[in-house]
Amino acid sequence: MTQTKLAVFGDPIHQSLSPRIHIEFARQFALDIDYQKVLTPAGTLAEALSIFSSAGGMGANITAPLKQEAFALIPQLSPCARTAGTLNTLKWDPSTQQWFGENTDGQGFLQYLQKYTSIDIAPARVLLLGAGGAARALIDVLEKNVSQPLTVVNRDLEKAQDLKKYPRLELLSYVALNQQIHQTRFDIIINATSSSLHQQLPPLDNAWLKNSIVIDLAYAHGLSTPFMEWALSHHAKSVDDGLGMLVEQAALSFALWFDRMPDSKPVYQQLRSRE
């Protein structure tokens, strides 16, 4: 049986659970895969992908901070990836000798909500922190699945001006948002920044956290992320990390590579039980 070469590219990358997840998916179909972590600083993705494809790489996942960099490099894109302006999954196309880009983050987030939570996102008032690669995929699906206007807050508004293409999206700086602390609360707060990966907190007024459902897209290997701990200490209704979304977006990536949808729940439960 031919071994399929896969990899995840990012920086940092040591914390990635993607190899474990995809190896478990492959076992469900008796597939032989080699899935590696590739430390790839920003600005070096093109070279890393060239080396990988030359070595027989067939599929790749892209993580922070490279999702928008990947989007700029890949000419063949799915409609979802093109709309979001970011991608997290690549598949090598032998016929064109090029990578095909997809984004499974948004749909993976919705599947996470449906499978592992009782959250009804449709009527919720949602605050999304960040406007980078992970956030942009979520913006696209939230705009389509939430009835309330979506609020996005980012440190650098200039880098997020293109998000004004979404008519129901309110784009704010942290300063502007925190000045509205007396106004209507948010039902759900999603941290799509990389702050937890660097053991930091975004400059969000902690009063927003009270009675909100808080989701940090980071995952801390069995520990609460700094953002989750902070939210709990300021009376969040509940907190969760990004493991469910990670597994679900991975399942969609796997289906793109192998045209087979794995059973994601046992893998999620296995990872949770090993924490």
Contact 88, 45 (CB under 8 A): no
Which residues does the annotation mark as catalytic?
67
Among 81, 59, 218, 201, smallest CA distance to 140 is for 81
Contact 204, 180 (CB under 8 A): no
CA distance linking residue 67 with residue 137, whole number of Å: 10
> Where would I find the H helices in 99-240?
105-116, 133-145, 174-178, 226-233
